[in-house]
Amino acid sequence: MFTIIRKRLLAPSIYSMDIKAPRVAKSAQPGQFVIVRVREKGERIPLTIADYNRKEGTVTIVTQTIGASTRLICALEEGEALLDFAGPLGRPSELIHETDEQLASKKILFVGGGVGTAPVYPQAKYLSERGFKPDVIIGAKTRDLVILEDEMRAVSNEYFLTTDDGSAGFKGLVTDRLKDLVVNQGKKYDLVVTIGPMIMMKFVAKLTQELGIPTIASLNTLMVDGTGMCGACRVSVGGKTRFTCVDGPEFDAHQVDFDEAMRRQNMYRTIEGQKLAELEKDDHECKIGRDK
């Protein structure tokens, strides 16, 4: 069992949890993920590692209550435990393999959206600790949904916040802000790393291709099983089939077939919605039973 040491509400329906998992914390690297299971017959949920503390033996995950399985995770409180917490899985960020000289020669920009801010953080933190703070653009629909703002500012060279409604920072999409920085302000970037909703990453990749900036996209939201056996995370990259959980989750964004990836993602979203309806029905029946 893997005990929840700390739980925080970051934004409506978005929670951060520090999980006691010494073996995972010891080996974790930026860009990797874990597979979480709440109970014996529960779903296997892939979650990107949002942070880790090797000394304390903890790993941080950030979860949004979207479907039945994430609702069960977020319902747990401090002192309770997850049944399974397997990892670290997937390939770590390519940036950890680069020398100081290579990193010093690059101007790196991270573009995150929504809960995708969480997996941006460990990569930006890693670069910051090596002395190469990146620029970071973070997008959210509204001010209330911005997460980890103080943490991101601490590890960023320049931090650019955008909100769709203009309630905080730049009003517009992350692509609007990226274009403004590069085209209007003349900033130059050698690499963009984007993590967030699939549709956001698609248009970030489209823009950076036009601007001639190499770009990496993390397809962590596409995974289901996390071992490569189920085949649910198949994605076309440069015309070749890849498996997100074992070949990724990071790929050359300009080579990813995002339309195919979004079709596959929507298939499983429908199934999860059905499970959420069943869970809510069970909860309702239990409450009726208690009232009698």
Percent of the chain with pLDDT over 70: 87
More confident residue, 215 or 292: 215
| 11 & 120 share domain | no
- Mean pLDDT value across the chain: 87
Percent of the chain with pLDDT over 90: 64
pTM: 0.85
More confident residue, 283 or 127: 127
User: What would the pLDDT profile of 154-177 be if each residue is shown by its tens digit?
Assistant: 999 999 999 999 999 999 999 999
Torsion sign (Cα): 160, 163, 206, 91: positive
| 7 & 36 share domain | yes
Domain that holds residue 79: 2-89
CATH classification of the domain holding 195: 3.40.50.80
The residue among 58, 89, 120 that closes a domain is 89
pLDDT of 86 > 60? The answer is yes
| 150 & 76 share domain | no
CATH classification of the domain holding 34: 2.40.30.10
More confident residue, 237 or 254: 254
How high is the pLDDT of residue 44? Answer: 81
How high is the pLDDT of residue 273? Answer: 47
pLDDT of 98 > 70? The answer is yes
| 14-20: strand order across its sheet | 51-53, 58-64, 14-20, 2-11, 81-82
Number of domains in the chain: 2
Q: How many Å apart are CA 65 and CA 188, to the nearest integer? A: 37
pLDDT of 232 > 90? The answer is no
| 101 & 80 share domain | no
The residue among 60, 89, 118 that closes a domain is 89
Mean pLDDT (whole number) for 195-205: 94
